[in-house]
């Protein structure tokens, strides 16, 4: 669940919130793309249990980034709706 900002005269404008949150979301997408390009193979983790641990860590990192991206997109969409 994302806590959405309340747009008001004393706060950040909806346009700025939309723009900056979209930029953050795009940066996260770029980071996810870069991570997916990194060679990641079981042959590099030959010890028992090592591959499973590395895979779990990598999955957790990707999930965290995905959730962060979803957060910034939700705020951007909320702000965009208020710009119209």
pLDDT in tens, 24-43: 999 999 999 999 999 999 99
- pLDDT tens-digit readout, 45-61: 999 999 999 999 999 99
Task: Please state the domain extents for the chain.
Answer: 1-23+48-84
Percent of the chain past pLDDT 70, that is, above it, reads 99
Question: What one-character-per-residue DSSP string does 44-64 give?
Answer: G--STTHHHHHHHHHHHHHHH
Query: What is the predicted pLDDT for the residue at 23?
Result: 98
pTM: 0.89
Nearest to 35 by CA among 57, 14, 53: 57
Query: What is the predicted pLDDT for the residue at 73?
Result: 98
Q: Report, as an integer, the average pLDDT of 4-23.
A: 95
């Amino acid at each position: 669940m994302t806590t959405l900002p309340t747009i008001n005269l004393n706060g950040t404008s909806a346009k700025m919130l939309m723009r900056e949150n979209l930029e953050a979301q795009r940066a996260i997408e770029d980071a996810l793309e870069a991570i997916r390009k990194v060679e990641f193979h079981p042959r590099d983790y030959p010890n028992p249990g090592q591959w499973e641990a590395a895979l779990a860590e990598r999955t957790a990192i990707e999930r965290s980034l995905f959730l962060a991206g979803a957060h910034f997109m939700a705020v951007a969409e909320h702000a965009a709706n208020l710009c119209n």
